[in-house]
Structure 1
Amino acid sequence: MKGAEIITEYLVREGVPYLVGTCGHGDLGLLDALYDRRGEIRTLSVHHESAAGFIADVYYRIRHRPLATFTSVGPGSANLPVALGSAFMDSSAFLAITGNVPTTQFNRSPFQETGRHFQADAPGVFRPYVKRSFQATRADQLPLMLRQAFATMLGGRPGPVHLDVPLDVFVETSEEPVPDPVLWRQGISRRSAAAAEDIARVLELLRGAERPVIVAGNGVQNAEAAEELAAFAATARIPVATSPLGKILGRLPAALNLGATGRNGTYQANRATRNADVILALGTRFDDRSTSSWLPGYTYRIPPTRLIQIDADPAELGHNYPATLGIAANPKDVLVQLRDSLGTVSDTHRWLDAIAAWTREWEQHVAPNRASDAAPLRPERVLAELRGALPQDGILLSDVGSHHNWIVQEWQPGGPGTLLQCWGFASMCFGMAGVLGARLAAPETPAVAVVGDGCFLMLPSVVATAVEYGLPAVWLVWNNGGYVSIRDQQRGYFGAGRELATSFRYDAGGGPYSADHAAMARSMGAEGLRVETPSDLAPALKTALNSGRPTVIDVLVEPEAVQPSSATWQLPPLQHPEPSFGWPDI
């Protein structure tokens, strides 16, 4: 078999349904092999390589099955790391196949070779953003590399893997047999439970707590453990806060669901976690935005709060906070063990009553703007209308920008896989392109991407891709006239009026500039709608969701809206802002 035929055959055996990418001379051989297998694996062509990566990333987050991407040599593949970084830092997985120059031309500086420091050095470009990078210089290396690539990608903490293939390796032949994934991986158990004595110690700490809190992260979603978490929390009567990326708890009783922690989290979540005496953390890495940059007393006080940390990745245990007890294990398995061994539970009714009072205070503060009739629209009104229009199981994708901050604070997801964000790497255009991955992964489920006007202008070509493949994605463009999250930081850190390169303006007159995003959509064959008043939004959303066609809704959003904060975030050495609500604790 030719090298490209080996790759295609292995992808078919793994059950990969789509290969997504952009053509180039470096991957011609791969495309030729895929031509012969069109009925078994579908090839999708996009107009920018990063879009392929975001589509594959989102597909995995919903289905927990990897796709593969294809890109060509040099700049084509150099466009992919922005999407790889998104998947890598948020523990999502796909196989990135890159074409390269022929091995016979290594070190001769052929067209598009990255070879100034090391020949055909695509692995050097990709290495920081993948779990492992392979480069095949002979076709007979491919079977082993493919088998190891999938095992690495899906084992332990998921993450993307890179396979670099020079042009000649795609077309040269090998007698090496293609491995059977069932033979190699079906017998490997993915369970990873805790020792009995560790479970006993966890329960001892929780039973002795007066103010326990569970903090759930994205590791709970990756472990498919939302039901186990809800069941344990309800039985033990322990409230649950989440990391922003871990917001999946649509089925948790409202009295126990505190929302997200950190600078864009809720008052009740931050006040509960900073006043807890014991925290059970599941699959969260305690990054800066979810912890108020580790500043003591804003989101956490660890110590004196005692931390029980459960994570599938041992490297995360005690990484940012000292753990009273750290256990390297699968959160799903540990939650089952805890539920089965629970027995008596502590009396948490006073603690839950206090949290309920904080929740009421917060709701009284933020709820009025959800019904605001102001135009341009208040962010809270936009999200309230969207929540009312999107079914509970509908998928919301948030791109990066000020709208993301509002979504973390306001959005109530319907359950696992219904709120998708790019958190660790914060790659703009994750939602812009990723919504196509959502429609591929869950074709019967409505999917809406909330994207900034800045993001839409970065990658509008995905609308054309949606039209080409008949994917009825919906984009809500949060049109507030610039990179407003950064503009607000300029104002906050350096003073009012000290703004540069963050608002969209005409150079000559200095007036505000806005593209007509709806007209751009129509020019590519999609539907395009514009919303300027709150009363127009619900009908526009209904039209878009019922149309069965790709649709862009351009919504004018108030650019001066200030988000309430119950925590903070620091950019050292700049002074962090104090929370604007409920601070300091009384």
Structure 2
Amino acid sequence: MARSGAELISEYLIQEQVPYVVGLCGHGDLGLLDGLFDRQDELQTISTQHESIAGFIADGYYRVAHQPIATFTSCGPGSANLPVALGSAFMDDSAFLAITGNVPTSQFNRTPFQETGRYHQADFPSVVRPYVKRSYQATRPEQLPLMLRQSFSLMRRGRPGPVHLDVPLDVFAEKTEEPLQSPAEWNTGAVPQPGASPEEIERIRELILESRRVVIVSGSGVESSESEAALLAFARAHRIPVATSPLGKSTFPAEDELALGATGRNGTYAANRAARGADLVLAFGTRFDDRSTSSWLEGYTYRFPETRLVHVHIDPQELGRNFPPTVPVIGSPATVLRQLAEAMRETDYRSEDAYLDEVAAWKRKWFEHVAPNRGAEGGPLRPERLVADLRAVLPDDGILFSDVGIHHNWLVQEWEPREPRTFHQSWGFASMGFGLGGVIGSYLAAPERKHVAVVGDGGFLMLPSAVATAVQYDVPATWIVWNNGGFQSIRDQQRLYFGADRELATTFLGADGAPYEADHAALARSLGAEGITVTHSSDLSSALETAIASERPTVVDVSVTDAVGLPAAATWALPPLDHPRPGFGWPDA
């Protein structure tokens, strides 16, 4: 049966059980839209007002459902708006299929309208190649079945990530009798989870038995491999304290007595103190990036190689990239945790009471420092009060997305996840707009749950059209705008590194030098959503309850003080600038 390229793509997406394609129309993807037209009952098309939002929706969907969906964008600037979202997904091991339209192959090299590339024809794949696991470009429809099958296998297997498929207009439109390659026959949904060798497991067991101060560091790979329950069981069986990477924050319940919080610049005192004082670190699915390790500066978060390191990661490139592993293991955290549980079953290893008492003391010291501010009264609100009230209102299985800004730092430090996969952030690429669109994808993946995004006032003004998309498709998401008058995380760095009087282009000011403040709640209402403004702590909890209970898209614009700094129990370096010393618990008493 002859089918157009667009019909092939639509059919294949349906066979892969993709429920949504999200994007923005243009002349480059006209053919694809026509192919989707007849399949609307099986494959819903969602139209956004900005291509980055489409990418963030797809990214958010994968982080909650662990299944990829697809985006569609047109040639030229349409697809050029996508790399910010692709980079966010790629750096954080999230996956979607990015289908980009291109100019007709018969017009390659003639510089038609919106062709990318003066020196190489239709070269959009070069634009996105750093941000995807692979980029395919089909120049005839017969190529599509193979490319689609390989794309879905590649997205899911190993380290998850987005894949790009570039399709010229004529390839969407022309027909072929090339048969589809069945996802079921090729088993594209299979996700191999390799484990450690028996020798590696025995060596790890020996290291654990030799050690008195063991710390587990749980990264986002634990989430990717859905091994949170295995990690919790292993930690409890042997009473081993657990720190998380910031990106792996919801892999371990914050209320558990073994929980230390996140490591690094925005982490807790207990996590950093335990990690640098350990004699053995068992790291699962973390890449030890700069912000989670105090920029690899010895003694702030870690003391490798003085501390021995077992590093488990699905991607061999991460083993030995930043720290020397005593035992490097190419493997899935799910499999290796299962192997270790079995290997340790006959031992009576449990962390000693004296060690756990120290850990508990570090946690109490930190709690006594930060907890009083969680109940602070007044307005503009203290950051800790906003986070505490949100935690009290959002159900345990509610899903929180953080956009990028100073609020992100506070959430990494203060937010207390209670269930797996309930806290999501753009960590590696730190793409502003992630929370705005991601929370829509989160709802599409789990409509029975509550979905909230915390976004800065700067980030919200970048892509407020996400609210319009939610209104169009009746998505009852809540956006909390952390309104502190500017890009204050960068302002604070200007003041720190260059002087308190050397601030430029970070605080929002009008032409007269007075503070500029947009009315984000009014903007939301103009787009058809609900809008609530909060200026005092006494009104916050009720406003959050109303918004989260609502079946309407709602923006809660909260005035937050810009005069409070994040308590620092570790550091972060921007060479050649001198790194700041931690302001709490340093040097250790």
Q: Which TM class, normalised by the smaller chain length?
A: over 0.9
**Alignment of 1:569 onto 2:543:** no
Partner residue in 1 for 2:446: 442
Partner residue in 2 for 1:484: 488
Partner residue in 1 for 2:479: 475
**Aligned AA (1:429):** G
Partner residue in 1 for 2:233: 231
Q: CA deviation at 1:375?
A: 1.2
- The alignment partner of 2:427 has SS state of coil
Q: CA deviation at 1:545?
A: 1.2
Structure 1: unaligned runs, 5 residues or longer:
none
Q: CA deviation at 1:76?
A: 0.1
**Alignment of 1:328 onto 2:330:** yes
Structure 2: unaligned runs, 5 residues or longer:
none
**Aligned AA (1:399):** D
Contact 2:436 2:455 in 1 (8 A): yes
**Structure-to-structure mapping, 1:415-434, within 5 angstroms:** 415-434=419-438
Q: Distance in 1 between matches of 2:252 and 2:156?
A: 26
Partner residue in 1 for 2:95: 93
Q: Distance in 2 between matches of 1:470 and 1:327?
A: 46
Q: Distance in 1 between matches of 2:311 and 2:529?
A: 47
Most deviating of 412-421 and 482-491 = 412-421
Q: CA RMSD in A?
A: 1.0
Partner residue in 2 for 1:493: 497
**Alignment of 1:256 onto 2:262:** no
**Aligned AA (1:541):** L
**Aligned AA (2:273):** R
Partner residue in 1 for 2:24: 22
TM-score, normalised via structure 1 length? 0.99
TM-score, normalised via structure 2 length? 0.98
Partner residue in 1 for 2:513: 510
**Alignment of 1:525 onto 2:539:** no
- The alignment partner of 1:362 has SS state of helix
Contact 1:263 1:292 in 2 (8 A): yes
Of the candidates 248, 257, 260, which is equivalent to residue 246 of structure 1? 248
Deviations 1:267-324 (A, max 9, x none): 0000000110000000000000000000000000001000000011111111100000
Q: Distance in 1 between matches of 2:189 and 2:571?
A: 47
Identity %: 64
Partner residue in 2 for 1:358: 362
Q: CA deviation at 1:347?
A: 3.9
Partner residue in 2 for 1:406: 410
**Aligned AA (1:44):** I
Partner residue in 2 for 1:319: 321
Q: Distance in 2 between matches of 1:248 and 1:501?
A: 34
Partner residue in 2 for 1:80: 82
Contact 2:156 2:191 in 1 (8 A): no
Q: Distance in 2 between matches of 1:346 and 1:226?
A: 20
**Alignment of 1:547 onto 2:542:** no
Q: Distance in 2 between matches of 1:76 and 1:454?
A: 23
**Structure-to-structure mapping, 1:276-355, within 5 angstroms:** 276-342=278-344, 343-344=346-347, 345-355=349-359
Pick closer, same or farther for the CA change 1:582–1:118 going to 2, 3 Å. Answer: same
Contact 2:219 2:251 in 1 (8 A): no
Q: Distance in 2 between matches of 1:154 and 1:24?
A: 29
Contact 1:230 1:252 in 2 (8 A): no
Contact 1:481 1:513 in 2 (8 A): yes
Of the candidates 54, 58, 68, which is equivalent to residue 56 of structure 2? 54
Q: Distance in 2 between matches of 1:187 and 1:226?
A: 21
Q: CA deviation at 1:253?
A: 6.0
Contact 1:206 1:346 in 2 (8 A): no
- The alignment partner of 1:307 has SS state of strand
**Aligned AA (2:216):** I
Partner residue in 1 for 2:460: 456
Partner residue in 1 for 2:371: 367
Contact 1:234 1:253 in 2 (8 A): no
Q: Distance in 1 between matches of 2:314 and 2:156?
A: 13
Q: Distance in 2 between matches of 1:181 and 1:50?
A: 28
Q: Distance in 2 between matches of 1:252 and 1:226?
A: 13
Aligned residues: 585
- The alignment partner of 1:245 has SS state of coil
Pick closer, same or farther for the CA change 1:264–1:188 going to 2, 3 Å. Answer: closer
Of the candidates 195, 198, 201, which is equivalent to residue 200 of structure 2? 198
Q: Distance in 2 between matches of 1:338 and 1:175?
A: 51
Contact 1:249 1:414 in 2 (8 A): no
Q: CA deviation at 1:189?
A: 6.0
Q: CA deviation at 1:248?
A: 1.3
Q: Distance in 1 between matches of 2:131 and 2:320?
A: 23
Contact 2:249 2:423 in 1 (8 A): yes
**Aligned AA (1:16):** V
Q: CA deviation at 1:351?
A: 1.1
Deviations 1:36-61 (A, max 9, x none): 00011000000000000000001001
Contact 1:242 1:259 in 2 (8 A): yes
- The alignment partner of 2:257 has SS state of helix
Contact 2:156 2:189 in 1 (8 A): no
Q: Distance in 1 between matches of 2:266 and 2:108?
A: 49
Q: Distance in 2 between matches of 1:188 and 1:38?
A: 27
Pick closer, same or farther for the CA change 1:473–1:253 going to 2, 3 Å. Answer: closer
Q: CA deviation at 1:187?
A: 9.0
**Aligned AA (2:378):** A
- The alignment partner of 1:228 has SS state of helix
Contact 2:254 2:417 in 1 (8 A): no
- The alignment partner of 1:162 has SS state of strand
